[in-house]
Amino acid sequence: MQRGYFIGLFVLYLVSSFLLAATTPIAPHEAKLYFSHEGIVPFFMHLGEHFVGGVLGIRILFLLFSVISIFMFYQLSNTYFKYKKDVYLATSLFMFLPGIITATVLANVGIVVLALVLLFVLLYEKGYNWLLPFVMLALFFIHEASVIFFIALFFYSFNTKERWLGTLSLAFLLAFIYLSKGIEIGGRPTGHFIEIFGLYAAVFSPLLFLYFFYTMYRIFLREKKHLMWYISFTALVISLLLSIRQKVYITDFAPYVMISTIAMVDIYMRSLRVRLPQYQRRYKQAFAIVVGMLVLSSLTIITHQLSYYMTQHPSKHFAYRIYHPYILAQTLQKEGVECYDAKGRMALQLKYYGISGCVKPE
């Protein structure tokens, strides 16, 4: 990929993300976080709202974290790739992953965790080891599911015989156990194993997730295993194992798996370049199909507002839970209705728009 194309895609990403963040109504999980006032996400939401009004305000700092993540991903790609065009390609694919676009637009802890994970790997590759404990400490307090990250670090340090890293990761793992933090494990065998594949397909796009799965497996069998692979592979395996017994929240694992976009591009480009030009055609065709599916998945998110208002069956649209409370609140306000009884997170969404419940708690 040429530099000019990359810059154009980056500008497109910035404009699309800004417009989506400014125009998309508050989501159910955002409303819950907004009124909880507990944790780093509500703090950033209210801090951003202090400087910028509306839904853009509660998301503005997460937009900033997304730009920081892309910058660090770009820098990290420079340490893995010999050719600049590979760096541009990997970063462009990363930018337009459906999971990245969603995490950029909606306030969530995932984009903060992603920035910290990328920072950790980048500092490690650059040799700034003295800064790593501070990043680990931040992940420990910000994200309870970061126990995945520390397990990956422990396995990596055991394999590379880096005792200092192994000691640090083990200390954080013991702290998780002592404080009873981490991912809640329980339940009994259910049907969530298939569901997790659908969630990963939504994060990557269906065909790209298949290639991600292949990349993880291929590196496991015969490729050099970098820290980045240990983090993504550990998150993938743990999520699949947990999905056998319980519902898995993809936001706990997505920040750790998406960084391996670098590995996917690396495997593809090496497989392509070892072949003569006449034998590269099938690889290029397969690449075009995979990227085409990624573009369709990304466009589905970017144009979701248009598709919602155009659909004849809004209740079946994936964004129904976002737009229905917003449209209902507008209708109630026009009619002069000041209260409306709703359940769950929808009540919080209506509350954000100034519509309180009619039944007062005793």
| pLDDT computed for residue 152 by the predictor | 93
Give the pLDDT of residue 350: 87
Q: What is the pLDDT of residue 178?
A: 81
Q: Is 21 inside any structural domain? A: yes
Question: Same structural domain for residues 93 and 45?
Answer: yes
Q: Is residue 357 part of a domain?
A: no
The count of other CB atoms within 10 Å of the CB of residue 53 is 10
Residues linked to residue 60 through DSSP beta bridges, in sequence order: none
Q: Is the four-CA dihedral 117, 137, 175, 34 of positive or negative sign?
A: negative
Residues 290, 320: one domain?
Answer: no
What is the per-residue pLDDT for 337? 78
In whole angstroms, how far apart are CA 345 and each of 121, 244, 301, 317, 333? Answer: 36, 28, 22, 18, 19
**Domain identity same for 78 and 13:** yes
Nearest to 29 by CA among 98, 105, 97: 105
Domain of 343 in residue numbering reads as 314-352
pLDDT along the chain (362 residues), means of 10: 87 93 92 86 91 90 94 93 92 93 91 94 92 93 88 92 91 85 59 79 91 92 90 92 80 90 91 81 89 92 90 87 90 82 84 79 51
Give yes or no: residues 210 and 320 share one domain.
no
259 and 346 fall within a common domain? no
Residue 33 within any structural domain of the chain: yes
**pLDDT value, residue 298:** 92
Picking from 302, 329, 344, the residue at the C-terminal end of a domain is 302
* 105 in any annotated domain: yes
Are 343 and 223 contained in the same domain?
A: no
Q: Is the domain of 161 the same as that of 298?
A: yes
Residues 333 and 227 reside in one and the same domain: no
pLDDT tens by residue, 214-247: 999 999 998 889 999 999 999 999 988 888 877 7
pLDDT digits (tens, 9 = 90+) for 166-208: 999 999 999 888 876 656 555 565 666 778 888 888 899 999 9
pLDDT at position 209, please? 92
308 within some domain: no
Whether residue 58 is contained in a domain is answered as: yes
Please indicate, yes or no, whether residues 216 and 319 belong to a single structural domain of this protein: no
Residues 122, 238 within the same domain: yes
The confidence score (pLDDT) of residue 191 equals 61
- For the entire predicted model, the pTM comes to 0.91
Claim to verify: residue 189 and residue 157 sit in the same structural domain: yes
- Domain count of the fold of the chain: 2
Same domain for 254 and 341, yes or no, is no
DSSP 125-190: HHT-GGGHHHHHHHHHHH-GGGHHHHHHHHHHHHHHT-HHHHHHHHHHHHHHHHTT-S--------
